[in-house]
Amino acid sequence: ITVETPEYSGVLDDGTAYRVSASSARASVDATDRIGLSDASLSMARPDGVTTQVDAAHAVLDTTTQLVEVPGTAEVANSEGTSGVLDDTIFDYRSQQLTGRGPVSIDYADGTHLEAEGLTFDATRLVWTFTRATVTLPDTPGANQP
């Protein structure tokens, strides 16, 4: 089964509006709950006005477990100037948890750069946790103070 340009949207418990879209969606008649997405895109707008965009060439939406799996690379950017690349990620809609099992590279608007072996993100509490992270600061904190 193939659907061209599928799209769905909703609102999370915290008021964040989201929209998922793809250039196409495919499901096998043997596993209709696992939907393969091509050119997948996720847009989120939090109540505080911050927007986030996530794009991946391929993703799998499992409607039974409410998981979105991105086995390859996902590009992430937000309206605050942060952007990055995450590899091998799973987002669990039920628990509002993102798990990255592969390399992470993030550039923050202030020039800070982060590299890590993996990550977790608790979307409910807005808490990021990185595994074996290296952070490069653009300057030493307080360096411009007399």
Nearby residues of 126 by Cβ (< 8 Å), 6 or more positions away:
none
Quote the pLDDT of residue 144. 72
Q: Which stretches does DSSP call E strand in 63-116?
A: 67-78, 83-92, 97-100, 104-107, 113-116
Total-model pTM? 0.83
Q: Exposed, middle or buried, 61 (CB in 10 Å: 0-12/13-18/19+)?
A: buried
C-alpha separations of 23 from 33, 64, 73, 130 in Å: 18, 22, 17, 31
Assess contact for 74 and 55: CB atoms under 8 A.
Answer: yes
Q: Within the chain, which residues score under 70 in pLDDT? A: 146
123-137 per-position pLDDT tens digit: 888 899 999 999 999
